Chains A and B, each alone.
Chain A
Amino acid sequence: MNTLTINGKLINSRGDLAWLLTTGVLCLIGLVGLANYLIQGHDAYNIYRQVPWGILISTYIFFVVSSTGLCLVSSLGHVFGIKQFEVIGKRAIAMAIITLLSGFAVIAAEIGYPFRMLIYNILTPNLAAAIWWMGTLYGLYLVFILLEFRFMIKVNHKWAGYLGLAGFIAGVAAHSNLGAVFGYLDARPWWHGPFLPIYFILSAAVTGCAIILLLYAVRYAREEMPVRISETLVSISRLFAMLLGILLFFEAWKVLTSVYGGAPGKYEAMMILLSGPLSWSFWGFEILLGMLLPFILLLATGGRNLKVATWAALSSMIGIFFMRYNLVVTGQLVPLRSDVDAVGASGLLSYTPSLTEIAIVLGGMGLCLLLYILAGRFFNLDADNH
């Protein structure tokens, strides 16, 4: 076992090997899914005319929300000058890059012609399209955070700060445009409006806190956590609790305004989550695991117990994955015409991801883990001692 190395560093524990094995299996499943997609095209997916966006879109959102969230939380340190948060900067930005790349990989398997997009985004851009802005701004954001990471590695705080600010602005702009991709659609009353661009930024910040707690729980699983790190993590877990509280508040008003007047389109969509075919995903994952349980755990311990905070973060991340799925799928299940063939007895459309889609989602997770393991081997992601 001790002969296995990455970048000259020994893989010398069972923990490391377990992570590598998990990553390898996930990547392999992803490659099988990808191969099937390359052979069969979109026929390998369960998306169709009335539900053209499936779990790959929601997983893309899951990843890019994570990236924006990590950027937001890390910018508290080297952009907004809250010294305490500077220790988490490098690891957070590394993971922001990795989650963004994983998101791009997943959506490349969903968009029919990703390379054509790169060409015609430049040749014939449509400045009225939120997707154009999202794609372009995420591209810029990637450049900024890559440079920011480079300056962090070189311990150039001045330039890391400038690029952090640029990344922060591009990230927030890109991410709110992702919300606008949904929010601009007048045809879909449940998505339409200013709520989603704003909610996406808030839920990104929640996700950022959760991922940082998880990353450090793994980093210091087998060694003593330095005091300045644990103090920062306690602050982050308190921030996490506060943001979860605000998110619950947002969610409550989304639910109430959707059902209050019984407006067509909005009401039926909300009822899919409240008591319809996706209620298990809404109540069990999005609300309970995603928000309520972590909120209660953090409040009960005042955020001081980092073990509990780690469990809260894990619970929240699982819930948030389903939260993205609920958002994307539910918005499409209310048919625009009542008598289309795909409408079932309930009067609703339905969607269940295919095995190929699930395999690509798992592959995306595998890619994310693989890149993180490699980043840890090639770069020192711990804070510099000064």
Chain B
Amino acid sequence: MSQERKKRWVMVVDPDKCIDCKACDVACKRENKIDAGTDRQVYRNWITSKGVEGTFPHLKQRFEPSQCQHCDNPPCVKVCPTSASYQTPEGLVAIDYKRCIVCATCILACPYDARFKSPQTKVIDKCTFCAHRIAQGKLPACVDTCPTKVRVFGDLNDPDSEVSRLLARHHYYVLKPEKGTKPSLFYLS
């Protein structure tokens, strides 16, 4: 094939493996030079505690790591007046920081609370799937660092990729499917 097949980057998350160590949060901040300082609202990814399930002594604590869903139908891109938020051909939702006017409408349009104003760049920021690392053939920092391999990253358009095989073999769900956003984060169930 002379022409390279179009890629669709997605992430498959196995929440049962998450131990809430927050290495993903730390790796993301270090890789993307995010200095939250004392501001607890500055983060690109997060882990939601789903609470304790079961009755003693058969208890289970569940966590659900999350971040920008890189939606196939992203509401944040639609509402951006200056086209600062856009979609790449490979399905990433990206921000052209120099065009961002910080009207914050994208923050409100995102059903996942994935966006925030960066204390460093002073414009709206969010997970980029570490696009700069993907370009070098590397994995996103959060995927690379995860000790229990909760996150698997890959090309959904490649039937032999690990993400394709995982989704073919397992039941999975997406977050807030009723919002019609078609997320690129798939959670194994």
Contacts and interface: CB of A to CB of B under 8 A. Distances in A.
A186 to B, nearest CB: 5
A126 B123 CA distance: 18
Interface string A116-127: 110011011110
B105 A187 contact: no
Interface in A174-207: 181, 184-188
A48 B75 contact: no
A337 B50 CA distance: 11
Contacts of B107: 49, 52
Interface stretch (B109-117, B143-151, B161-169): B109-117
B41 A187 contact: no
B104 interface: yes
Interface residues of B, number: 35
A117 B82 contact: yes
A116 B75 contact: no
Interface stretch (B7-15, B95-103, B128-136): B95-103
A45 to B, nearest CB: 11
A131 interface: yes
Tell which of A126, A131, A340 has the most Cβ of chain B within 10 Å: A126
A112 B102 contact: yes
Interface residues of A, number: 42
A159 interface: no
B117 A49 contact: yes
B49 A339 contact: yes
Contact of A187 (B100, B103, B116, B179): B179
Interface string A291-307: 00000000000000000
Given A114-B101, A120-B101, A339-B49, A49 B82 contact: no
A192 to B, nearest CB: 10
Interface string B142-186: 000000000000000000000000000000000000011000000
A187 B101 contact: no
Nearest to A112: B102
Given A112-B102, A341-B40, A130 B112 contact: no
B101 A111 contact: yes
B21 interface: no
A135 interface: yes
Contact of A50 (B111, B113, B123, B180): B113
Given A49-B107, A186-B75, A124 B49 contact: no
Given A49-B117, A332-B108, A339-B48, A113 B81 contact: no
Contacts of B30: none
A95 B109 CA distance: 33
A113 B117 CA distance: 13
Contacts of B103: 111-112, 117, 131
A128 interface: yes
B84 interface: yes
A252 interface: no
B79 interface: yes
Contact of A120 (B48, B75, B82, B109): B82
A342 B99 contact: no
B83 interface: yes
A130 B108 contact: no
Given A112-B102, A113-B101, A49 B41 contact: yes
27 contacts: A42-B102, A49-B42, A49-B113, A52-B117, A112-B100, A112-B117, A112-B122, A112-B123, A113-B102, A114-B101, A117-B103, A124-B83, A125-B82, A125-B83, A128-B79, A132-B81, A184-B109, A185-B75, A185-B108, A187-B111, A331-B108, A336-B110, A336-B111, A337-B46, A337-B112, A340-B41, A341-B40
Given A52-B107, A132-B81, 6 more contacts: A111-B102, A112-B122, A113-B101, A114-B101, A117-B82, A336-B113
